[in-house]
Amino acid sequence: MANLESLQNDLANLDAQHDLEGLRKVRQQIVTEHPASDAAVEALYKIGLDLLFRGRDLGAAVEKFEDAAKRKHPFWSAAARTSLGLCLYHQGRTQRALLELRKVAYPETPTHHSVTALTFLEQIYANDGNRDEVKRIRKDRIHQLEQLIAKAREQGATQERGFHLHNLGVALRDHGEDGRAKAVLEEAKELGPDVLGADLYRSVVDLLSP
């Protein structure tokens, strides 16, 4: 059995080489040989992503996401459950999708995954024409984003704050609060492209354009 640290070094080297097939094989080896490790949860999630986007196998991706979600890792299991919910929705299993997304969307403390899950819940209800539920969930998302921004400000996590400011600006604008949206987006714009990144900065500028 290969040493876990050695396998993780292999992953880093394969990632640098953009060897997607090699990455998948090593991740599967980690899952098989070190199933109780945190690395196995991450590996399962990323195998699921590979099956979904490269393999175009929705059913197989769902199985990997389900397995990773059951492992109870605070970060990777939440990521897997969020992806699982979205995949289930695309399989036409809407009620199960909503259930899985709600498990991620309402933690004790908001996270990147929880606001992402709320975004997907909002989209699903919008697709179904349920405006009341869309508004309720958007309010929850706005509240969580405000908490994440406050936390990022306290920690001096400027890039993270900019990311959440952008998302909050979009949510506020969709909620009809144009004044607050503009103020939030202006704060994000002041961080500049070096902090936000070129693509996010361009999106902020576009959102502020009349």
Secondary structure (DSSP) of the chain:
---HHHHHHHHHHHHHTT-HHHHHHHHHHHHHH-TTSHHHHHHHHHHHHHHHHTS--HHHHHHHHHHHHHT--TTHHHHHHHHHHHHHHHTT-HHHHHHHHHHHH--SS--HHHHHHHHHHHHHHHHTT-HHHHHHHHHHHHHHHHHHHHHHHHHT-HHHHHHHHHHHHHHHHHTT-HHHHHHHHHHHHHTHHHHH-HHHHHHHHHHH--
Other beta carbons within 10 Å of 95: 9
Instruction: Say if residue 198 is exposed, middle or buried (CB neighbours under 10 Å; 0-12, 13-18, 19+).
Output: exposed
Looking at residue 158, its pLDDT comes to 96
Q: What length is written for the chain?
A: 210
Query: Tell me, what's the pLDDT at 72?
Result: 87
Torsion angle in degrees (nearest 10) through CA of 113, 134, 197, 157? -50
Spatial distance between the Cα atoms of 8 and 144, rounded to a whole number of angstroms: 34
Could you state, in order of their start, the residue ranges of all structural domains in the chain? 1-97
Q: What is the pLDDT of residue 59?
A: 96
Q: What's residue 133's pLDDT?
A: 97
pLDDT at 210: 74
Query: How much is the pLDDT for 62?
Result: 97
Between the alpha carbon of residue 45 and those of residues 8, 21, 120, 150, the distances in Å are 15, 15, 18, 29
Q: Domain 1-97 is of which CATH architecture? A: Alpha Horseshoe (1.25)
Per-block mean pLDDT, blocks of 10 residues, the chain (210 long): 90 94 96 95 97 95 97 94 97 97 96 97 96 97 98 96 97 95 97 96 93
pLDDT at site 2: 84
Confirm whether pTM is higher than 0.85: yes
